[in-house]
């Protein structure tokens, strides 16, 4: 007789679980036959005792197989990217159409904002009419015809993860590398990928703030995804400063469109996107080396092909037909826009990136509770980055707020998030830190 409590006890005592026991536990999570108390006990035991590589792989595959797994019959490789979250991280909005323009198919299943980090789905929902849940049939059709589709998770994909994640969120077990690995990869593997590139962020604005923790997660993700038959690479990137010049949903969509049209406002953002794209093309077999991959990426960007793919994806999923030509005719705008200047001139030495993310949440651009509605118009724009000088002519940034009172509060918080100095600082931390 199989008993869930016995399996939980084994993990509590530090024993290795069999793949069969893990599959049965995950099945119980998915069909509600395991109680919330049992799931919480399993999550805590896993956090405290850890898992072997074989256990992590078995857990990930069981969660993948708890629902539908997509299979594709397409002329090009099926690829995707996942980011562990950051501030001003609009990478997905640019990367998916860029890869599609290079010959990939990108079924990108994204999530909402979590804590101080922004969510790709929240950004896309600022586009009037854009359907983030078009249904699997339409999702597959858009991927086949356009080359990319960025949507939310379907209820049939990795359903065990939703219940396990909700319980982890309230039982202080979110930090488990084993459970993070399974949660991320279950949904990605269910999308039927050939290639996956991970953007694992570290620094003050990342969930994995410490470099060693980020490296452990990066290695775990590669190991498990490769064991599942998906060619995978992890890039460790810096999140000690905002990646884009903006942080906030509609503001980031507009910056992504501008970048696709050739306007680079943040060199670091473009560096990360290029690195992810070039790594993907090499793993997918579309580029024989780094130089070929770079050439393909630049051609797709400079020719306007990537922008055209974004426009086609947006239109196919219900967005305005002229969004890329006139974004601010469609994207929501804040009632109050205020430039925030420093108390005295100086060079930006450091930015408290996490504080900026929390500021966007406080303005209404993120959630303090799961049921909160997001205001797509609010946020920060024109952010100054380390190594730049700010004064009465160059502000720290622009506050986009609902009203004058919230703008005034946000202005004080924005000033507090910056450390200025009289001398120009040394070169900042590189955007790309490591590859695994």
51 contacts 59 by C-beta, under 8 angstroms: yes
- DSSP 3-state helix, strand, coil percentages of the chain (rounded to 5)? 45, 15, 40
Q: Residue 82 is inside which H or E element, if any?
A: strand 79-83
The residue from 24, 56, 64, 82 that is catalytic is 82
Task: Provide the terminal-to-terminal Cα distance of the chain, rounded to the nearest Å.
Answer: 42
Q: Residue 337 is inside which H or E element, if any?
A: strand 336-340
Indicate if 187 belongs to the active site.
yes
Q: Residue 233 and residue 161: Cα distance in Å, rounded? A: 23
The residue from 60, 183, 220, 353 that is catalytic is 183
Full DSSP string of 343-378: SS-EEEEEE-HHHHHHHHIIIIIS-SSTTPPP-TT-
In this prediction, residue 71 carries a pLDDT of 95
Indicate if 82 belongs to the active site.
yes
Indicate if 120 belongs to the active site.
yes
Q: Which of 388, 299, 421, 396 is nearest to 339 (CA)?
A: 396
Full DSSP string of 228-285: TT-EEEEEEEE-SS-SSS-BSHHHHHHHHHHHHTT--S-HHHHHHHHHHHHHHHHHTT
105 contacts 72 by C-beta, under 8 angstroms: yes
What tens digit of pLDDT does each residue of 39-55 get? 999 999 999 999 999 99
Residue-wise burial string across 359-385, b where 16 or more C-beta atoms lie within 10 A, e elsewhere: bbbbbbbbbeeeeeebbbbbbbbebbb
Q: Where do the CATH 1.20.970.10 domains begin and end in the chain?
A: 4-64
Q: Where do the CATH 3.90.1170.30 domains begin and end in the chain?
A: 333-421
The residue from 168, 233, 245, 436 that is catalytic is 168
Q: For the whole model, what pTM was predicted?
A: 0.94
CATH code assigned to 333-421 = 3.90.1170.30
Residue 17's pLDDT band (boundaries 50, 70, 90)? very high
Is the CATH number 3.40.1030.10 carried by domain 79-316?
Answer: yes
What tens digit of pLDDT does each residue of 141-194 get? 999 999 999 999 887 889 999 899 888 877 888 789 999 999 999 999 999 999
203 contacts 433 by C-beta, under 8 angstroms: no
Indicate if 80 belongs to the active site.
yes
The residue from 187, 245, 309, 330 that is catalytic is 187
CATH code assigned to 4-64 = 1.20.970.10
The residue from 120, 126, 173, 202 that is catalytic is 120
Chain-centroid distance, C-alpha 286: 24
Q: Residue 365 and residue 373: Cα distance in Å, rounded? A: 9
Q: Which of 332, 303, 384, 362 is nearest to 130 (CA)?
A: 332
Residue 134's pLDDT band (boundaries 50, 70, 90)? very high
What tens digit of pLDDT does each residue of 69-83 get? 999 999 999 999 999
Average pLDDT of the segment spanning 214-233: 96
The residue from 46, 83, 220, 234 that is catalytic is 83
The residue from 23, 24, 188, 309 that is catalytic is 188
Indicate if 18 belongs to the active site.
no
Q: Residue 28 is inside which H or E element, if any?
A: helix 19-30
Q: Using CB atoms within 10 Å of the CB of residue 138, give its burial: 0 to 12 exposed, 13 to 18 middle, 19+ buried.
A: middle
Indicate if 183 belongs to the active site.
yes
Residue 357 structure tokens:
């993310």
Residue-wise burial string across 399-413, b where 16 or more C-beta atoms lie within 10 A, e elsewhere: bbbeeeebbeebbeb
In this prediction, residue 114 carries a pLDDT of 63
How many Å is the maximal CA-CA distance in the chain? 74
The residue from 11, 81, 268, 436 that is catalytic is 81
Indicate if 123 belongs to the active site.
no
The residue from 65, 80, 89, 199 that is catalytic is 80
Q: Where do the CATH 3.40.1030.10 domains begin and end in the chain?
A: 79-316
């Amino acid at each position: 007789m199989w008993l869930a409590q016995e399996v939980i006890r084994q993990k509590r005592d530090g024993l290795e679980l069999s793949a069969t026991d893990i599959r049965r536990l995950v099945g119980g999570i998915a069909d509600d036959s395991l109680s919330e108390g049992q799931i919480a006990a399993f999550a805590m035991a896993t956090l405290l005792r850890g898992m072997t590589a074989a256990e992590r792989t078995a857990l990930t595959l069981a969660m993948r197989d708890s629902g539908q797994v997509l299979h594709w019959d397409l002329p090009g490789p099926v690829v995707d990217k996942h980011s562990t979250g950051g501030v001003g991280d609009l990478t997905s909005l640019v990367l998916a159409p860029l890869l599609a323009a290079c010959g990939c198919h990108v079924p990108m299943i994204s999530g909402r904002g979590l804590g101080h980090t922004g969510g790709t789905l929240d950004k896309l929902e600022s586009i009037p009419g854009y359907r983030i849940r078009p249904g699997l049939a339409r999702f597959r059709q858009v991927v086949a015809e356009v080359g990319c589709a960025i949507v939310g998770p379907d209820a049939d994909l990795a359903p065990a993860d939703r219940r396990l994640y909700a319980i982890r969120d309230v039982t202080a077990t979110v930090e488990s590398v084993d459970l993070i690995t399974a949660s991320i990869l279950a949904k990605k593997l269910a999308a039927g990928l050939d290639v996956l590139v991970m953007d694992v962020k570290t620094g003050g604005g990342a969930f994995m703030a410490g470099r060693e923790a980020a490296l452990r997660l990066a290695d775990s993700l590669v190991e498990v995804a490769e064991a599942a038959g998906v060619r995978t690479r992890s890039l460790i990137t810096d999140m000690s400063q905002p990646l884009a010049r903006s942080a906030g949903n509609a503001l980031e969509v507009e910056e992504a469109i501008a970048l696709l049209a050739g306007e680079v406002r943040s060199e670091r953002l473009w560096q990360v996107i290029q690195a992810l794209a070039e790594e993907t093309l090499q793993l997918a077999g579309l580029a024989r080396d780094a130089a070929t991959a770079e050439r393909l990426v630049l051609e797709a960007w400079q020719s306007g092909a990537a922008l055209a793919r974004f426009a086609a994806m947006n239109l196919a999923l219900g967005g305005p037909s002229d969004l890329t030509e006139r974004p601010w005719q469609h994207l929501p705008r804040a009632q109050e826009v205020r430039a925030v200047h420093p108390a005295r001139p100086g060079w930006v030495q450091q930015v408290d990136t996490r504080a900026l993310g929390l500021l966007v949440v406080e303005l209404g651009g993120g959630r303090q509770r799961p049921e909160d509605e997001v205001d797509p118009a609010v946020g920060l724009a024109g952010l100054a980055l380390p190594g730049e000088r700010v004064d009465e002519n160059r502000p720290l940034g622009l506050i986009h707020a609902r009203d004058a009172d919230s703008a005034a509060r946000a202005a004080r918080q924005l000033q507090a998030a910056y450390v200025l100095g009289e001398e120009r600082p040394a070169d900042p931390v590189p955007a790309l830190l490591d590859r695994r």
